[in-house]
């Protein structure tokens, strides 16, 4: 298994819809294993294929949960069904999110409290589970990556302006920027 570089906001693959996986083969399973290794090295709770430069509809997660889902898994070609998202402002103390592709910063974001996930594992076998609370947030965050969205694209204006300033200050927004977990400093200080 290999730790892969994580793409940073501005890399084109992060900003376009990923394509469906059509072939479930050893190459796919190797990518999935590398994604798990990369997520672990980055101390992440989830990682989508576009975050490692691959425009395919795949994400992995590692999050202990109270739902009937395994604490670690992969979903290929996921379909998401969500509960309604509250129109209330996000709580800055309770609903802060971060992203390995927007490294180092966290901003509040309102998400649905419940999600149903359907898709496939790395062997093409059906996967279906429900997620609630923070686990639902993790699933929504990773799914967004597959549609070419980062959580900073969903922020309220006030936080979106702060995120844009951070991106500008760091020189993000251009192709070719990555960081390598386990080699580069952990942007979230784990």
Distance CA 74, CA 142 (A): 11
Query: Is 15 labeled as ligand-binding?
Result: no
Residue 174 region by backbone torsions, left for phi larger than 0, else alpha for psi between -120 and 50, else beta = beta
Of the candidates 138, 135, 137, 148, which has an alpha carbon nearest to the alpha carbon of residue 57? 148
- Within a domain: 135: yes
Structural domains of the chain, count: 1
Q: Is 108 within a domain? A: yes
pLDDT of residue 29: 98
**Residues composing the chain:** 190
Any domain includes 34: yes
Looking at the domain assignment, is residue 186 inside a domain?
Answer: no
pTM over 0.85: yes
Pairwise CA distance, residues 2 & 181, whole Å: 11
What would the pLDDT profile of 23-52 be if each residue is shown by its tens digit? 999 999 999 999 999 999 999 999 999 999
Q: Which domain holds residue 61?
A: 6-179
Cβ-proximal residues to 46 (8 Å cutoff; 6+ apart), any chain: 39, 59, 60, 61, 62, 63, 138, 139, 141, 142
- Domain membership of residue 188 (yes or no) is no
Percent of the chain exceeding pLDDT 90 equals: 94
Mean pLDDT of the chain: 96
Which residues lie below 8 Å from residue 145, measured CB to CB, with a gap of 6+?
14, 18, 48, 49, 50, 51, 59, 101
Residue 67 has pLDDT above 90, yes or no: no
Residue 141 marked ligand-binding = yes
User: What positions carry a catalytic annotation?
Assistant: 142
Check which CATH number belongs to the domain holding 83 and give it. Answer: 3.90.45.10
């Amino acid at each position: 298994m290999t730790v892969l570089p994580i793409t940073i906001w501005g890399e084109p693959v992060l900003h376009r819809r990923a394509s469906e996986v059509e072939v479930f083969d050893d190459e796919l399973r190797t990518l999935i294993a590398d994604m798990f290794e990369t997520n672990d090295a980055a101390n992440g709770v989830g990682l989508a294929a576009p975050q490692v430069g691959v425009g395919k509809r795949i994400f992995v997660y590692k999050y202990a949960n109270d739902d009937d889902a395994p604490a670690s898994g992969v979903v290929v070609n996921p379909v998401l069904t969500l509960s309604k998202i509250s129109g209330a402002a996000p709580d800055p103390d309770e609903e802060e999110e971060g992203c390995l592709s927007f490294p180092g910063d966290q901003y509040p974001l309102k998400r649905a409290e419940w999600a149903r996930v359907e898709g496939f594992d790395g062997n093409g076998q059906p996967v279906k589970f429900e997620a609630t609370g923070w686990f639902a947030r993790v699933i929504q965050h990773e799914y967004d990556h597959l549609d070419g969205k980062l959580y900073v694209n969903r922020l309220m204006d006030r936080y979106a302006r702060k995120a844009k300033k951070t991106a500008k200050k760091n020189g993000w927004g251009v192709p070719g920027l990555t960081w390598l977990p386990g080699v580069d400093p952990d942007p979230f200080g784990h």
